Amino acid sequence: MRKFRTFLFFLLILTVMVIIPILTVNSATFFQLHQVESPEQQVQDRLATESWLAVMKEGVPLPANKAPAAATKTVLGYYVEYGETDRASYQALASFGSMLTDVAMVIYNAAPDGSLQGKPSPPGLEAARAKRLHTYLVVTNHGEKLFDRNLAHTLLTDKTVSLRLRQNLLSKAKELSATGINLDIENVPAGDRDAYAAFVANLADDLHRAGKKLIVSVPAKTADNPADSWSYGCDYAKIGAKSDYVQIMTYDEHGPWSEVGPVASYPWVESVVRYATKVIPPEKVLLGVGFYGYEWSSAGNRALPSKAIPELIAQYHATVKWDDKAKSPTLTYVKDGVTRTVWYEDERSLRAKRELAEAYHLGGYGVWRLGFEDQSFWNALVR
């Protein structure tokens, strides 16, 4: 009996001094490994240095309670009439309206006193309604210059003018039975950043009380840089908090004013999206897509509708190349002895942008503009 008690005592000592510490260490180690290896933690660790697309391509799933719900994407097309003979947008709406969910009618310009200049397009509005599309009225700040900085300052900082502009926008949305307003105030002075955010908040409240919505178009940026005079005036976070959608103009990375380059390269677009979705709910973000290209040459630079590119290639036997880094096509051709270079969008580049929108769970697309495309573009972007 004494030997048995001695054995039990020895076993107790062994358990306390050896076995329990081993189990404790192993349990702690298991807990640490479990923390590191959980899908959610893996995703968060990777997103600190990499993009959504890189993570999702490796098949690292979000936990079920964290995964965003699937939803039909908004497809917003910009309807433009530059003169009475410009019927391109109308024809596109008639042909491709089934590809769209929303139409933004580019019709109004804000005057210095807060009134609205411009007139609606009855054929465009009727066509949109016939296809049961949501309609938005676009207002811009063209004054003495396109996207006039001084006009933007007046509209945002003069309390009387700001209030009158908001009232006029709400009145027009009601009068035309529009879904809402698409605010496209660009070149906002950096010093008016807070004033613009406040204007957006007040206009959103006005519209929401009336059952209307607000889309705000903003310049693309990869960071909030006070030195960037074009984009700093738009506070992504505050604008995104109050508006229903933020249409980010992820195009014109290069253009006739710059060196030769892609209209919207894949790395640049992704860097814009990565920044935007850190401060704006992804489901509110509309990815800007340009249905056009730019041409550079010593004879001058110009814009080209995307649907005109195939004919140009055939007519001049252009040399077409695919830039895999930019995920964008480019071509060169000779006309009148002058070599010309074109960067543009095609089905392949649009599919890459669609993949980005899916990977980041964006709300949809904002397409500039209706009438520059053919069916193949919609097939790549939407179908």
Using the Cα atoms of residue 344, residue 55, residue 73 and residue 276 in order, give the sign of their dihedral.
negative
Q: Name every residue whose Cβ is closer than 8 Å to that of residue 66 and which is 6 or more positions away in sequence.
A: 40
In whole angstroms, what separates CA 253 from the centre of its chain? 14
Q: What are the DSSP E strand ranges found in 39-101?
A: 74-79
Tokens of 280: 């704006």
37 is annotated as an active-site residue: no
Helical residues (DSSP H) of 48-177, grouped into ranges: 52-57, 88-96, 122-130, 149-157, 159-175
Q: CA-CA distance, 69 to 231, in Å (whole number)?
A: 31
Instruction: For tokens 């976070």, name the residue.
Output: 237
Q: Closest by alpha carbon to 131, among 93, 177, 181, 88?
A: 93
- Name the helix (H) or strand (E) containing 5: helix 2-14
Active-site hit among 81, 186, 253, 295:
186
Q: CA-CA distance, 207 to 72, in Å (whole number)?
A: 24
Helix axes 347-359, 266-279, angle to 10 degrees: 20
Peptide bond into 369 cis (omega under 30): yes
Q: CA-CA distance, 161 to 365, in Å (whole number)?
A: 32
Q: Name every residue whose Cβ is closer than 8 Å to that of residue 378 and which is 6 or more positions away in sequence.
A: 96, 99
Q: Which amino acids are annotated catalytic?
A: 186
